[in-house]
A and B are shown apart, each in its own frame.
Chain A
Amino acid sequence: MAPNRRAINKPMKQKTTNKILIIIPAYNEAETISALLQAVHKENSTWDILVINDASTDATEELARASMIARVITLPINLGIGGAVQTGFKYAVRNGYQVALQLDGDGQHPVSEINKLITMVLEDEADVVIGSRFNKKKNGVKTHFLRRTGIKLFEWFSFMLIRQQITDHTSGFRAYNSRALAFLAENYPTDFPEPEVVILLGKNNFRMKETFTQMLERQGGVSSIPIAKGPYYMFKVLLAMFMAAIRSRIIHNETAS
């Protein structure tokens, strides 16, 4: 275990090369985590992989550690997706990563698309690149009608608020540059954070860009938004989006470089 760890940690201390971190928030993802880590590592072994184990009650932590590929941070209590992902951002900022990508632990996001998102950030096309399940022509993955309607509503609402066209607010497949990471490490909402973050970023003048990514059916686990909780979810998220829009800008001159 020890020599392998060192091999992973070595490139961290070097400079010049782009340090890229893949953040995988995982809550009870024992079914999928091992295969996912293998796949990500196979895709590009220079990426550092960080699993945020959000106080899972199953073997997620053991399996992630046993893979010897990933760094594993275990949270002492369950914080939900927002708190877990933000832990990853904090890690990325403190360890000087140029780019971090957030990838769901359930295998919903195709590993083959990671590079596309990262490349767009590296080429400075945007501060944040969102992998969208929608595309002008065809629909990527079959989503429930209600969920699709909700997403459409987010699109319209967020366009009203920040005048940026984002089609898939619920996507948790996102790549960030270091500036966005520094901002989000300090400001990130807790439950159902994704749509709100779009407003937060737009409001603070971050450039966002979407790219179509073929999404897979989830390999295991359950959605964080069961249909029955839909109305609560919609209300909470729309309120949070609205509040994020009417709150005063957080970024002041020192961070806006």
Chain B
Amino acid sequence: MTSAFNPNQVQYIAIAFSWLLFVVILYLIRKRRIKEEYSLMWLLFSLLFIGFSFWRRGLDIISSFLGIAYPPAALFMILLMAVFLIMIEFSMIISKLSDRNKVLAQEIGLLHFELNKLKRKLHKPGKEKKQGTKPQSGNSGAGVKK
């Protein structure tokens, strides 16, 4: 501990990085790159890190409470916990998404089938008109009126 380096240096770095994390998350939410509901876990843990980077005694208190001899190890534990929780949340989100994805794909298949059936029915009698031309001209007409 009495060696050449400044023991406060690590604290400055910790404060800088935890703030950076917090600000980056907020920035991404603002840019709608992350949805609010999926950012909660990140914000929570970045605030926790900011807290510990200022309040260094806190880490000692927690590590002695948990019986961890080396306080930085408590930090690693919290860090790992954060990563685990966030990853579990991701697995849940992915599962939900893939389930919804499946339902959508099935509906698309079923609807496409019905659509083809209706199309065939429409075209059966004469096939004299091509669809698309008429509704298109109708559309542009309506546009002109306005």
Q: Which of B98, B110, B120, B124 contacts A90 (CB 8 A)?
A: B110
Report if B77 contacts A (CB, 8 A): no
Residues of B within 8 A of A9 (CB): 117
For A, the interface residue count at a CB cutoff of 8 angstroms equals 21
- Indicate if the CB atoms of A75 and B113 lie closer than 8 Å: no
- Indicate if the CB atoms of A75 and B120 lie closer than 8 Å: no
Residues of A within 8 A of B120 (CB): 1-2, 5
Report if B80 contacts A (CB, 8 A): no
Kindly count the residue-residue contacts between A and B in the assembled complex, taking CB atoms under 8 Å apart: 44
- Indicate if the CB atoms of A83 and B113 lie closer than 8 Å: no
* B contact face: mostly helix, strand, loop, or mixed: helix
Binary contact track A1-15/B, C-beta < 8 Å → 1, others 0: 110011001000000
Q: Which of A5, A71, A86 contacts B106 (CB 8 A)?
A: A86
- Indicate if the CB atoms of A76 and B105 lie closer than 8 Å: yes
Report if A67 contacts B (CB, 8 A): no
Residues of A within 8 A of B101 (CB): 77
Residues of A within 8 A of B108 (CB): 75-76
- Indicate if the CB atoms of A75 and B106 lie closer than 8 Å: yes
Looking at B106, B112, B124, the one whose CB has the most chain A CB atoms below 10 A away is B106
Report if B58 contacts A (CB, 8 A): no
- Indicate if the CB atoms of B102 and A79 lie closer than 8 Å: yes
- Indicate if the CB atoms of B109 and A75 lie closer than 8 Å: yes
Report if A135 contacts B (CB, 8 A): no
